[in-house]
């Protein structure tokens, strides 16, 4: 069963198990699962669900590997490779050329060292083609003019009346070019484009082709759309916006403005965190395509829920110094999915300022969006809050009927200007040092002893268990890297992309070695603390670059800086603590993966969060050891000197860190887990 199958079942009815058993080369079907658990087909349907087929590898089966000249594999006998084996292909470089690799007709991108990793589940035939050396689309986007030589998969063609806007993706960036020379180009073509002038339109690069377009291979799977949990932070970071992906799946968007009829019209939607984006109908769509889209949009009302599926990021534009316009361009009706509109209830805001009441309509069972709450001011008074009767209203309450909210004011006796907090940048520091599992694990460790003694004792402690193995990560990462907000998704490192919580043979996500596999020496590639979920695209982009930063490093998305890799603000502390663990456990030289001073800086700037604690707990339960730099972040400074740091400056930073850790007590149940996940909580 290669493609998803959607069936409509009436609410309250039972969905019967499919009569046809799904098949997958090299695997045996086991069962259907919902959120990682076997699905009970006797339960009535009460909401939309996604069932995922679970398979096991056919043990004992062997397959044949056919290799061309210039490609080698780390197998003893290419004619007898066991099913489920993870093999490494090494591609020899050719001067002035790109070696394009196809495995069973599907394009596979190499990392920076010419390596491709693949799981053997069937006979594999490897082919290669040579093209003139190409530019990454990520780099083309930086050009202000000039000709290009690019390669990528066409992910979208907008049906218009003037030619074709074509979206092309090489897993580093997105690009649009107008009026393709070859009319036979289609979605799924891997195309090599040589020549063309670069232009810029609203921060999106447009190439007007005038050279040669060569289709290297058709019918390629599209780079997967990225799940965006947050349209302004996570995946769509302002500083790296659209550079890492071009197709997005975004769930649970609320309509803020009712759509208007007509091409080239925008309407606003808002995500669950209050971030707004525009959705735009393309200006040059043909009438039949536009009519299909308008049939979906015409009945939308403010407060309705929609989702985007595979929508292309059309543009983003800075307005002034801080504001950005983020816009998704609709080119087909299938890219927008409607939620149930349901019943709407009137919420009346009585301002008590002499101004008229404000009435908003809220969909049944939904909460009131922050953007719908009126801004209020009354001279000489302090606003206390919105009250329902005599009770302060909780805006997390779902609306199930019409209600009236009244503004409550308190007269100011001696009004003064508000003052800024004394230290607004303090972040909540999370730790679980009182967890009985943590206390028990470190019961034999004296954290007050000398740095060298502490290092040796911790090394002995964390080395007592054997690494789980690389193959096992397909399973335990489903729990360790589970997103804290969207719990049926996995969260990727370096870009916060969300993936379905199931192993899909590296079709969308892979097991990223934070300390690169090529630099592990004798350390096992299956060390659990060193493995993170990572999108296939960004995993390949990172390659084996050491971590680093420069004066312009910013944003939450990872990207290369020359020969270094910036992991993004959200993950920089995580990689620092993982790198220190690998140094502690296996004696690997930190300088092979990063500068120790930069790592310590990141450790302070990006403290331990709930996601890391979750990973540490899961790995402890599976592999038997913990990362001490997560449980006891204060030891980083103490061991810093032993790996090349300057203890004088480290001590001062440690005192600040410990004071912060003592000064702020955080009760997890009172914190929005989504805020912790993105490390935006300020107290």
Residue 132 pLDDT class (50, 70, 90 cuts): very high
What DSSP state is assigned to residue 576?
A: H
Residue 658 pLDDT class (50, 70, 90 cuts): very low
**Vertex 430 angle, CA 612 and 605, to 5°:** 80
Listed residue (6, 34, 14, 21) closest to 500, CA to CA: 34
pLDDT at 644: 52
Listed residue (224, 236, 321) closest to 276, CA to CA: 236
Crossing angle of the two packed helices 596-605 and 647-663, in degrees rounded to 10:
10
Q: What is the mean pLDDT of residues 650-674?
A: 27
Tokens 């290092």, residue located: 455
**pLDDT of 462 above 90:** yes
Q: What is the mean pLDDT of residues 537-566?
A: 82
pLDDT at 184: 76
Please give the mean pLDDT across all residues of the chain. Answer: 78
Q: What is the mean pLDDT of residues 107-136?
A: 91
**pLDDT of 444 above 90:** no
Q: What is the mean pLDDT of residues 649-664?
A: 28
120-124, 190-194, 510-514, 533-537: least confidently modelled range: 533-537
CB proximity list for 546: less than 8 A, separation 6 or greater: 563, 564, 565, 592, 593, 594
Structure tokens at 645: 């740091």
Q: What is the mean pLDDT of residues 283-292?
A: 86
Three-state SS sequence of 304-335: CEEEEEEEEEEEEEEECCCEEEEEEEECCHHH
Tokens 């599926």, residue located: 309
**Vertex 656 angle, CA 654 and 661, to 5°:** 90
Q: What is the mean pLDDT of residues 588-613?
A: 85
Q: What is the mean pLDDT of residues 523-528?
A: 89
Mean pLDDT highest for which of 324-328, 492-496, 559-563?
492-496
pLDDT at 104: 95
Q: Are 231 and 250 within 8 A, CB to CB?
A: yes
Rg of the chain's alpha carbons, rounded to an integer?
27
**What does the alpha-carbon distance between residue 237 and residue 235 come to, in Å, rounded to a whole number?**
6
Reported as a single tens digit per residue, the pLDDT across 404-443 is 999 998 875 433 322 333 332 333 346 678 888 888 899 8
pLDDT at 493: 94
**pLDDT of 678 above 50:** no
pLDDT at 17: 84
129-143, 358-372, 539-553: least confidently modelled range: 358-372
Q: What is the mean pLDDT of residues 309-337?
A: 72
**What does the alpha-carbon distance between residue 376 and residue 360 come to, in Å, rounded to a whole number?**
15
Listed residue (132, 143, 151) closest to 213, CA to CA: 151
pLDDT at 236: 54
Give the CA count within 13 Å in the CB-facing half-sphere of 456.
5
**pLDDT of 378 above 70:** yes
* Percent of the chain clearing pLDDT 90 (strictly above): 25
pLDDT at 620: 93
For residues 396 and 417, the model is more confident at: 396
**pLDDT of 603 above 80:** yes
Name the pairing type of β-strands 81-82 and 62-63: antiparallel
Mean pLDDT highest for which of 215-229, 238-252, 308-322, 405-419?
215-229
What DSSP state is assigned to residue 482?
A: B
Crossing angle of the two packed helices 451-462 and 572-586, in degrees rounded to 10:
90
CB proximity list for 95: less than 8 A, separation 6 or greater: none
DSSP string for residues in 249-286? EEEEEEESS---SSTT-EEEEE-TTS-EEEEEE-TTB-
pLDDT at 1: 41
Is residue 371 left, alpha or beta, with left meaning phi > 0 and alpha meaning psi from -120 to 50? alpha
DSSP string for residues in 369-394? PGGGSPP---TTEEEEEEEETTEE--
195-199, 294-298, 662-666: least confidently modelled range: 662-666
**What does the alpha-carbon distance between residue 556 and residue 677 come to, in Å, rounded to a whole number?**
12
Q: Are 206 and 158 within 8 A, CB to CB?
A: no
Set out the domains of the chain in order of their start, with CATH numbers: 62-132 (no CATH), 137-217 (2.40.50.140), 226-338 (2.40.50.140), 344-411 (2.60.40.4270), 425-644 (no CATH)
Residue 676 pLDDT class (50, 70, 90 cuts): very low
Q: Are 359 and 303 within 8 A, CB to CB?
A: no
Q: In this structure, how many other beta carbons lie within 10 angstroms of the beta carbon of residue 221?
A: 11
pLDDT at 27: 78
**What does the alpha-carbon distance between residue 502 and residue 607 come to, in Å, rounded to a whole number?**
29
**pLDDT of 190 above 50:** yes
What DSSP state is assigned to residue 545?
A: P
**pLDDT of 180 above 80:** no
pLDDT at 540: 76
Put simply, whether the predicted model's pTM sits higher than 0.85 gets the answer: no
Helix, strand or coil for residue 473?
Answer: helix
**pLDDT of 164 above 70:** no
Listed residue (489, 497, 494, 533) closest to 513, CA to CA: 533
For residues 113 and 341, the model is more confident at: 113
**pLDDT of 321 above 70:** no
**pLDDT of 270 above 90:** no
What DSSP state is assigned to residue 546?
A: P
pLDDT at 661: 26
């Amino acid at each position: 069963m290669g493609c998803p199958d959607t069936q409509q079942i009436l609410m309250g009815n039972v969905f019967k198990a499919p009569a046809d058993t799904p098949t997958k080369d090299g695997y045996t079907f086991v069962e259907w699962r919902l959120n990682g658990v076997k699905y009970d087909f006797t339960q009535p349907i009460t909401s939309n669900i996604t069932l995922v087929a679970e398979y096991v590898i056919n043990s004992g089966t062997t397959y044949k590997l056919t290799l061309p000249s210039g490609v080698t594999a780390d197998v003893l006998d290419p004619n007898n490779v066991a099913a489920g084996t993870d093999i490494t292909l090494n591609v020899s470089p050719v001067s002035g050329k790109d070696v394009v690799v196809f495995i069973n007709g599907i394009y596979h991108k190499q990392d920076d060292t010419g390596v491709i990793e693949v799981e053997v589940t069937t006979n594999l035939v490897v082919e290669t083609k040579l093209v003139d050396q190409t530019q990454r689309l990520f780099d083309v986007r930086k050009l202000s003019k000039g000709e290009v030589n690019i390669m990528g998969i066409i992910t979208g063609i907008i049906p218009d009346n003037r030619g074709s806007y074509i979206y092309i993706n090489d897993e580093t960036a997105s690009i649009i070019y107008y009026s393709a020379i070859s009319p036979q180009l289609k979605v799924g073509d891997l195309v090599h484009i040589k020549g063309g002038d670069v232009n810029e339109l609203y921060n999106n690069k447009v190439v007007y082709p005038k050279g040669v377009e060569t289709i290297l291979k058709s019918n390629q799977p599209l780079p997967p759309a990225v799940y965006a949990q947050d349209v302004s932070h996570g995946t769509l970071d302002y500083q790296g916006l659209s550079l890492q992906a071009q197709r997005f799946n975004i769930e649970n968007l609320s309509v803020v403005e009712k759509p208007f009829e007509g091409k080239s019209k925008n309407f606003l939607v808002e995500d669950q965190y209050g971030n707004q984006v525009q959705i735009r109908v393309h200006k040059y769509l043909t009438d039949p395509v536009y009519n299909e889209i308008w049939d979906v949009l015409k009945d939308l009302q403010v407060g309705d829920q929609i989702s985007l599926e595979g929508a292309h990021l059309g543009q983003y534009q800075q307005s002034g110094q801080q504001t950005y316009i983020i816009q998704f361009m609709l080119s087909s009706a299938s890219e927008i999915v409607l939620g149930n509109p349901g019943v709407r209830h009137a919420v009346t805001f009585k301002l008590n300022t002499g101004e008229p009441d404000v009435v908003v309509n809220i969909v049944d069972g939904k909460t009131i969006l922050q953007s719908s709450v009126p801004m209020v001011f009354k001279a000489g008074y302090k606003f206390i809050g919105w009250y329902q009767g005599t009770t302060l209203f909780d805006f997390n309450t779902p609306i199930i009927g019409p209600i009236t909210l009244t503004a409550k004011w308190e007269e100011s006796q001696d009004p003064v200007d508000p003052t800024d907090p004394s230290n607004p940048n303090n972040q909540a520091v999370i730790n679980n040092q009182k967890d009985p599992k943590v206390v028990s694990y470190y019961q034999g460790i004296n954290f007050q002893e000398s740095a060298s003694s502490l290092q040796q004792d911790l090394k002995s402690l964390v080395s007592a268990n054997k690494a789980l193995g690389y193959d096992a990560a397909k399973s335990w990462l489903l729990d360790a890297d589970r997103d804290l907000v969207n719990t049926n998704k996995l969260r990727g490192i370096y870009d916060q992309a969300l993936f379905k919580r199931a192993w899909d043979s590296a079709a969308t996500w892979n097991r990223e070695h934070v300390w690169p596999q090529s630099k592990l020496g004798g350390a096992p590639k299956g060390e659990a603390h060193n493995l993170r979920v990572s999108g296939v695209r960004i995993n390949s982009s990172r390659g084996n670059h050491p971590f680093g930063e420069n004066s312009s490093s910013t944003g939450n998305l990872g990207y290369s800086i020359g020969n270094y890799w910036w992991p993004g603000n959200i993950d920089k502390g995580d990689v620092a603590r993982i790198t220190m663990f690998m140094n502690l456990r296996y004696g690997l030289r930190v300088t092979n993966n990063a500068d120790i001073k930069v790592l310590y800086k990141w450790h302070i700037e990006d403290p331990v969060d709930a996601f890391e604690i979750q990973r540490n707990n899961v790995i402890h339960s599976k592999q038997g050891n913990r990362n001490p730099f997560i449980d006891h972040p204060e030891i980083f400074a103490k061991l810093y000197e032993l790996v090349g740091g300057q203890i004088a400056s480290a001590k001062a930073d440690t005192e600040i860190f410990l004071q912060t850790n003592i000064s702020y007590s955080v009760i997890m149940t009172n914190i929005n887990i989504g805020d912790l996940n993105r490390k935006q909580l300020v107290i």
